[in-house]
Each structure stands twice: as structure tokens, then as C-alpha cells.
Structure 1
Amino acid sequence: MTPLLKVSEAEVSYGPIMAVHKASLTVDKGSIVTIIGANGAGKTSLLNATAGLVTASGHFEFDGQNVDVLDVEDRLEMGLCIVPERGELFGSMSVEDNLQLGFYTHRRDRAGLRARLAEVFDYFPRLAERRLQLATTLSGGERQMLALGRALMSRPRLLLLDEPSLGLAPLIVSEIFRIITALKQSGVGILLVEQNARAALECADYGYLMETGEITLHAAASALLDDPRLARAYLGGS
């Protein structure tokens, strides 16, 4: 089976600093793959390169098609959608208007817009309750839900999620990961960047550990949870 995403020998540099060095990974259709590691390990740079937000060398395939030369808008139209850290919402616009912006690539389908809004509100009932509120008035957890909901409006085939649990209370983190798992069950593939290694591995099918720009360990998520090297470094094991 052709993987939904295949990244081969990706490298990202910022001037003389190499943030990602020869990183390779795959994401199968309808699976959750997580990239874990310490702050500054290169996780976000690899995610941004996959989305087309930063210049990278190497090779990127989406559903068997070469996307190396495509920009972020073209990749989005193919179904590859990134949710950046902290969401980057339009605070002076309402919740519903932010969501409608996510439907931009399908904007001529008015009936589809109404149906998609209803689906997103099913995932996030709290957003339905606050649909007329300005995004800037939302709590941190609600803002993260709105960022995820806006991405879902584009009908993605693969979601790239950058630190969705960052700065959130434990109960909200649990809710966010519950929704991520539900999205997988709907057939959406997910590439998840997280510092919360345990939460990420508990919901993922496969995991990659990044250290100083390189992927140093990868295995089924359940195997990584039991790996003593990972436990010592990231999971608080003895």
C-alpha cells in the first residue's frame, strides 16, 4: 500500500544552522504518527518543511505524488493541512467566520459549507455555543479547538499538528487527544509533533524520536512506550 505521506532524507537549514538532517518518515492512510523530542530538536522544522512552509531539500511524496516543488497552498488543495503551534487565529473575527475561512478552497460549494460546519460543531460542541463570539475572547483550549476545527473545514486527508497540547490544562489536553483519536477513526491521517511524549504515544500508531535534528529512534508507539532509553529521557522512567 502506498503511504499517504513519504518523507525521504529531508534537510532544513537556517543559514549555517542545520535544523533537520536527513530525516525520513512515512504516514499511512488513517493512521496517527507522532514525532517526539525535546524543545529545539527540529520537530517543527520538519513539520513545516512537509507543509511547504520552509525551504527544504530531500524528497516529499503525498499519496504517491511528488510535492517537492509545490507551495503550501497547492499542498493544502491536495488535502495536506497544517495546524501551527498556537493556531494563528483571526482574533477580531467570530468563531464561525474563522471556520468559514478554512473552507476557502471549497468556497463555491455553499451547501457543502453548511454541512461541513455542522460536522465540525459535532466534534466541538463548545464552538457551536460560541459561534458568534470573537476568537480573541476564547480560552486557550477553545482556541486550540477552533484551530483544529478550521483545519477540518478544508476536508483534509492529512493533518499536520504542531504541539496541540501546548500550555493547556490536563483536562483540556485529554479532550484534544480524544478528538485526535476520533479524527483517525474518520479516516484522516495525522502527523503529530508533541513534547508531551506519553500522551502522543498513547494515541499514536507509530512514533519517531528526534534529537538535535536527526531521527534517532522509531518504532510502533507501544514499543516506544516500553523502550528504556525513551523512558529515561522523556517519560520519567528510572
Structure 2
Amino acid sequence: MTEMLLSVKNASVSYGKVEAVREVSLDVAPGEIVTIVGANGAGKTTLLNSIMGILPFRGQVQIDGCRFERLDIEDRVAAGLFLVPEHRELFTSMTVADNLVLGGFRTSRSSATAALQRVYAMFPRLKERRLQLAGTLSGGEQQMLAMGRALMGEPKLLMLDEPSLGLAPRIVADIFTIIGDLRAAGIAVLLVEQNAQAALRIADRAYVMELGSFVLGGAASKIAGDPRVVASYLGFEQGMSHQETAS
């Protein structure tokens, strides 16, 4: 049996009296891509933020078998857990290169230098734009920079919150290709994504979230073929397109 890199048990998150996430459990194995799909307001971002330690929650979180729900964000980062937030949170008045260097501040100089070369190899456009201010980049380039900055910290698990949001279809395809490359490099990914078709195509396993709870879970290929998912998140034509691609 594969030992899970991330294990979340019975996580619940409340905003005052409103329970945004209710008794959610999930696992991510090393080198695995797991996606959470669902509509706006389902609780997906809240769940990621609670795992990262940004929001308080009830439940258990383990990484590499060690519980860390009481640890602060810095300790979670040190354990190999990184979040690329929905709005990217770049230092817009700093250059691309400086944003990347900041991402590797916890690592040694030699490790950061090697990581920077890997990031530039994965995102050639960032190397071309390395002296450009982050705030002047296109939306797709900013998403690449946000991912690259997280990769500078040498994560074991990268959590991505809506990486395709607001991007053109061609750029979305590039981003998802890169996510697949992360799996090949041995980096696990927990992906929150409204573009269910793209997310289910690339993921190993998937969870469907509605109103703060998981209503379905299993192999991504099986979830993609579920009539409820096709009707609610893919649409008939999109669902047929995904199945044809997977066959």
C-alpha cells in the first residue's frame, strides 16, 4: 500500500456560524495529481487555505505521516507544502528574477541556483522576461511566475488554486502540460480547478465538491464518465470529448 504524502481527515472550516467545509477527507500520494472540482462557492479554496494554515480548521492534517495542523505556515512550507493562490500574490513592483529568488530563500545558494535553472527550463518565457517587472506580465506569464516561484522552494506537494482562471485556451493548455511535467518530476499536485474537463483529463484521482462536502471521489477517468459530473460540470459535448480523448 502506498504511503500518502498528504492525508486530511475530517476537516471542517467555519466562517462564524456558517460551515464552509464539512468533514472532508482526502489523500495525495507522492508524485500524484489529485484534483478537486466543483462550482464557485463549493469550499474548494477554503479547503486549500486551511490545509496551508491560512485558515483555522477542525480535523487532522499529516504530511509524510507527521501531523502538522498546529504548525504555522512557515513550518508547513519547510515540510514541503506550497500553495499557489488563485490571485497569484506576486511582488508586482519587482522583477521576474527577484520574485523567483525570493521563492528559494529557505534553500542554500547552490540549491537555489539549480532550482532557478530548472524553473527557467520549464518556463522559457520567464527567462526571456527575467528583468521585466512582474506587474507588467500577461496573465499567463504571471501564472507561470507564481508556479515558478513556488517551485523554487523545492516542494513535495504543490497546491494550485484555479491556475487557468482568466487565461486564454492556448495558455491554459500550456499550463496543464506543465502540471503534467511536475508529476513526471516527482512533485505531487493538489489541483483546484473550475475547468473540470482539463483537470479530470490530467489528474490521477478526483473529488467533486458541493456545498462544502465531497459528493464523489475516485479515479479521475471514472469521475469524468459519471453522468452527474457530465451534466453538472462538463456538459454533454465536453463529456463526450473527454471520453474520446481518454479512449
Shorter-chain TM band: over 0.9
Unaligned ranges ≥5, structure 1: none
1:86 Cα deviation after fit: 2.1
Asked if 1:8 is matched to 2:9, the reply is: yes
Asked if 1:161 is matched to 2:174, the reply is: no
Q: Which residue of 2 aligns with 1:149?
A: 148
Task: Check whether the contact 1:228–1:237 (CA below 8 A) recurs between aligned residues.
Answer: no
Task: Tell me the SS of whatever aligns to 2:23.
Answer: strand
What is the rounded CA distance, in whole Å, between the counterparts of 1:21 and 1:91 in structure 2?
Answer: 36
- Counterparts of 1:26-175 in structure 2, within 5 Å, are 26-106=27-107, 109-175=108-174
Q: Which residue of 1 aligns with 2:240?
A: none
What is the rounded CA distance, in whole Å, between the counterparts of 1:50 and 1:68 in structure 2?
Answer: 8
RMSD: 0.8
What is the rounded CA distance, in whole Å, between the counterparts of 2:49 and 2:38 in structure 1?
Answer: 16
Question: Any idea what the Cα deviations from partners look like across 1:19-68, whole Å, max 9, x if unmatched?
Answer: 00000000000000000000000000111111111000001010100011
What is the rounded CA distance, in whole Å, between the counterparts of 1:237 and 1:223 in structure 2?
Answer: 16
Question: Any idea what the Cα deviations from partners look like across 1:96-123, whole Å, max 9, x if unmatched?
Answer: 00001100111xx222222111110000
The one-letter amino acid paired with 1:59 is Q
The one-letter amino acid paired with 1:211 is E
**TM-score normalised by the chain length of structure 2:** 0.94
The one-letter amino acid paired with 1:6 is S
What is the rounded CA distance, in whole Å, between the counterparts of 1:31 and 1:2 in structure 2?
Answer: 12
Task: Tell me the SS of whatever aligns to 1:44.
Answer: helix
**Moved runs in structure 1, 4+ residues, more than 2 A?**
none
The one-letter amino acid paired with 1:185 is A
Task: Tell me the SS of whatever aligns to 1:105.
Answer: coil
Q: Which residue of 1 aligns with 2:235?
A: 236
Task: Tell me the SS of whatever aligns to 1:176.
Answer: helix
